[in-house]
């Protein structure tokens, strides 16, 4: 059987300023989490503001839409069989929600749970009242690889004084045309 | 003093410019999309650093800092460049590219650390600024060296070949730059040869940890006036557009 030669996918979360929540920026492929963090810096923080970055293996993210939750409440679903046999120790899960169809997943808080289904259940109790999220993501905090705050200066700050220029700011096309024309005259 | 500063700044800038150009040759060709983006960024960083050093020179020589960097990059002949030979070698395979980048990034860490304590204010300032970004370059290239060196048999083999090919050229990193002694006396720089121990302290453990063997080949000692024919080829391409019309506003 042909195996998938792609590297694993990591979800990338960016924090734009210290008191802001982390937000989903997109994903990168990388052989491991350290490389994922480095790749993510180049793909997602070359220009935009960034003070902290997380990468999480995409497969570690447990995701449910509001619709799925309505149709099939998370209480004691997928996880139940295994957790009965072998109760996992309780740990911290990060909770992210998407509130608009065109929006991104935004960090809303965390929950202590012994499995992703339970984490989602607790998150739902805690956070569903105020904003009516459309999509829920939960993942164990231990799956996060995050940028080292002492490295902000080398990873993200240099981007701040780099100018972003649209292609229209370069005169290449007109310059080339002028050169052609002056050659034609000669 | 001005001549010594010119030689020193051109050495710093030309290394960055030529290596940056070599890195840019991977644009659209790097092994994966993420790395393509990362390496193109890195190429731009290096060329930006070259531009910073050329601007310092513009100030010293009372030239227009908006124009002078381009004059230096695009309108000098190969014999006027002061880069080391290592950076002008063709890009080779990915292993060669990563190994060269790593060996050079480690050297820059050491050189810039020393320069950021320069008694010449502007040198210290620019070195500190560039160093910030170079921390990331070093992390990036050393992460690749460790993974390719200790990766598969094939990646290890290629990395060793790259290291063997590049080793002799690393000697030039620590050769005195023309006029350097004058700058040392003024407290502006430290002797290039004094950077070597620190570089080895960085590079040896990483290479060994990456299952690579430090080559026994002697390191070559050439001054920065001598170049391989590769530089001429590189410049004829790099400078071709600017030279189409020297006064054009791109």
Contact B210, B145 (CB under 8 A): yes
Angle at the Cα of B117 (from B85 to B222), degrees rounded to 5? 20
Q: Are B68 and B54 in contact (CB under 8 A)?
A: yes
Which residues of chain B are within 8 Å of residue A30 when distances are taken between CB atoms? 34
User: Does pLDDT of A185 surpass 80?
Assistant: no
Inter-residue contact A98 to A104 (CB < 8 Å): yes
Q: Which positions in chain A touch B45 (Cβ < 8 Å)?
A: 158
Rounded distance, CA B144 to CA B137, Å? 11
B17 within 8 A of B82, measured Cβ to Cβ: no
Domain ranges of chain B: 2-244
Decide if B136 touches A, using CB distance below 8 A: yes
Residues of B in contact with A32 (CB under 8 A): 147
CA distance B152 to B216: 24
Gap from A74 CA to chain B (nearest CA, Å) = 36
**Residue B248, pLDDT above cutoff 80:** no
Residue B101's contacts (CB-CB under 8 Å, 6 or more residues apart) are: B19, B23, B42, B137, B141
Average pLDDT over residues A166-171: 80
DSSP codes of every residue in B167-212: HGGGGGGGSPPTTHHHHHHTTS---GGGGHHHHHHHHHHHHHHTT-
Nearest to A157 among B32, B132, B245 (CB): B132
Angle between helices B33-60 and A33-44 (to 10 degrees): 60
Q: Look at A38 and B38 and tell me if their CB atoms are within 8 Å.
A: yes
Q: What is the ipTM of this complex?
A: 0.84
Does the pLDDT at position A85 exceed 70?
no
Distance CA B65, CA B73 (A): 13
Interatomic CA distance for residues A144 and B57, integer angstroms: 45
Residue with tokens 């299952």: B211
User: Which pLDDT value is given to residue A1?
Assistant: 44
Non-local CB neighbours of A48 within 8 Å, separated by 6+ positions? A14, A16, A159
Taking every pair of Cα atoms in chain B, the longest distance, rounded to a whole number of angstroms, is 54
Does the pTM of the predicted model rise above 0.80? yes
At B95-144, the pLDDT tens digits run: 999 999 999 999 999 999 999 999 999 999 999 999 999 999 999 999 99
Inter-chain touch A179–B244, beta carbons under 8 Å = yes
Q: How far is A171 from chain B (nearest CA, A)?
A: 5
- Which of B34, B132, B249 is the closest to A175 by Cβ? B249
What is the predicted pLDDT for the residue at B218? 86
Residue from B27, B32, B34, B142 to probe the interface with A (highest A Cβ count within 10 Å): B34
Element (H, E) at A82: helix A80-85
Q: Kindly indicate the confidence band of residue B14, based on its pLDDT and cuts at 50, 70 and 90.
A: very high
- Whole-angstrom distance, CA of residue B227 vs CA of residue B154: 32
Chain A residues with CB under 8 Å of B108 CB are none
Q: Do A155 and B245 touch (CB under 8 A)?
A: no
Q: Taking residues A66-87, report their average pLDDT.
A: 62
Q: Which residues of B touch A170 (CB under 8 A)?
A: 250
Interchain proximity B248–A179, CB inside 8 Å? yes
What is the distance between the alpha carbons of residues B137 and B78, in angstroms, rounded to a whole number? 27
pLDDT over threshold 50, residue A82: no
Instruction: Mark yes or no for CB contact B41/A175 under 8 Å.
Output: no
Burial class (CB in 10 A: 0-12, 13-18, 19+), B218: exposed
Q: Which positions in chain A touch B34 (Cβ < 8 Å)?
A: 28-30, 39, 42-43
Which of the 8 DSSP states describes residue A7? Answer: P
User: Would you give the distance in Å from CA B149 to the centre of its chain?
Assistant: 22
Q: What share of chain A is helix, strand, coil (3-state, %, to 5)?
A: 40, 25, 35
**Residue A178's beta-bridge partner residues?**
none
pLDDT of amino acid A3? 59
Average pLDDT over residues A19-26: 95
Q: Which residues contact B195 (CB under 8 A, 6 or more apart)?
A: B107, B110, B111, B114, B173, B174
Dist CA A148 CA A134 (whole Å): 32
Q: In this model, does residue B168 exceed pLDDT 90?
A: yes
A10: three-class secondary structure by DSSP:
strand
| Structure-model confidence comparison of residues A48 and A139, the more confident one | A139
Q: Do B136 and A154 touch (CB under 8 A)?
A: yes
User: Chain A contacts of B248, Cβ < 8 Å?
Assistant: 175, 178-179
Distance, C-alpha A116 to centroid of its chain: 18
In 3D space, the residue among A10, A143, A45, A42 whose CA is nearest the CA of residue B139 turns out to be A42
SS (H, E, C) B37-99: HHHHHHHHHHHHHHHHHHHHHHHHCCCCCCCHHHHHHHCCCHHHCCCCHHHHCCCCCHHHHHH
Average the pLDDT over B207-224 and give the result: 93
Q: Residue A83: which pLDDT band, with cuts at 50, 70 and 90?
A: very low
Q: Which tokens belong to A73?
A: 């409440």
Torsion on CA atoms B106, B108, B114, B116, rounded to nearest 10 = -130
Domain B2-244 has CATH 3.40.190.100: no
Residue in A42, A151, A171 closest to B250 by CB: A171
CB-based contact B89:B156 (threshold 8 Å):
no
């Amino acid at each position: 059987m042909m195996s998938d030669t792609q590297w694993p996918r990591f979800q990338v979360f960016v924090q734009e300023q210290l008191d802001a929540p982390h937000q989903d920026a997109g994903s990168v492929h990388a052989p491991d989490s350290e490389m994922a963090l480095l790749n993510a810096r180049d793909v997602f923080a070359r220009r935009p503001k960034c003070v902290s970055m997380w990468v999480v293996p995409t497969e570690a993210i447990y995701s449910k839409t509001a619709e799925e939750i309505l149709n099939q409440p998370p209480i004691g679903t997928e996880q139940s069989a295994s957790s009965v046999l072998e109760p996992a120790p309780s740990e911290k899960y990060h909770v992210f929600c998407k509130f608009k169809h065109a929006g991104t997943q935004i960090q809303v808080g965390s929950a202590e749970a012994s499995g992703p289904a339970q984490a989602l259940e607790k998150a739902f109790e805690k956070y569903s009242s105020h904003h009516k999220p459309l999509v829920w993501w939960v993942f164990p905090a231990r799956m996060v690889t995050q940028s080292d705050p002492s490295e902000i200066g080398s990873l993200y700050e240099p981007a701040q004084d780099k100018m972003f220029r649209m292609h229209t700011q370069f005169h290449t096309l007109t310059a080339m045309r002028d050169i052609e024309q002056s050659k034609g005259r000669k | 003093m001005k001549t010594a500063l010119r030689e020193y700044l051109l050495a710093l800038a030309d290394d960055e410019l030529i290596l940056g150009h070599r890195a840019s040759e991977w644009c659209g060709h790097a092994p994966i999309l993420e790395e393509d983006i990362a390496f193109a960024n890195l190429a731009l960083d290096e060329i930006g650093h070259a531009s910073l050093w050329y601007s310092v020179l513009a100030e010293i020589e009372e030239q227009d800092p908006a124009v002078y960097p381009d004059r230096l990059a695009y309108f000098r002949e190969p014999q006027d460049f002061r880069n080391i030979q290592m950076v002008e070698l063709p890009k080779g395979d990915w292993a060669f590219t990563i190994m060269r980048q790593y060996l050079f990034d480690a050297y820059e860490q050491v050189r810039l650390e020393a320069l950021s304590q320069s008694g010449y204010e502007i040198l210290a300032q620019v070195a500190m600024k560039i160093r910030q970004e170079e921390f990331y370059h070093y992390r990036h290239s050393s992460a690749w060296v460790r993974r390719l060196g200790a990766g598969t048999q094939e990646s290890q083999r290629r990395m060793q070949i790259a290291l063997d090919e590049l080793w002799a050229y690393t000697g030039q990193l620590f050769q005195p730059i023309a006029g350097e002694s004058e700058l040392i006396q003024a407290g502006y720089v430290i002797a290039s040869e004094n950077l070597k121990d620190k570089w080895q302290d960085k590079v040896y453990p990483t290479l060994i940890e990456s299952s690579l063997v430090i080559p026994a080949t002697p390191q070559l000692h050439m001054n920065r006036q001598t170049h391989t024919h590769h530089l001429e080829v590189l410049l004829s391409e790099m400078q071709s557009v600017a030279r189409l019309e020297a006064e054009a506003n791109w």
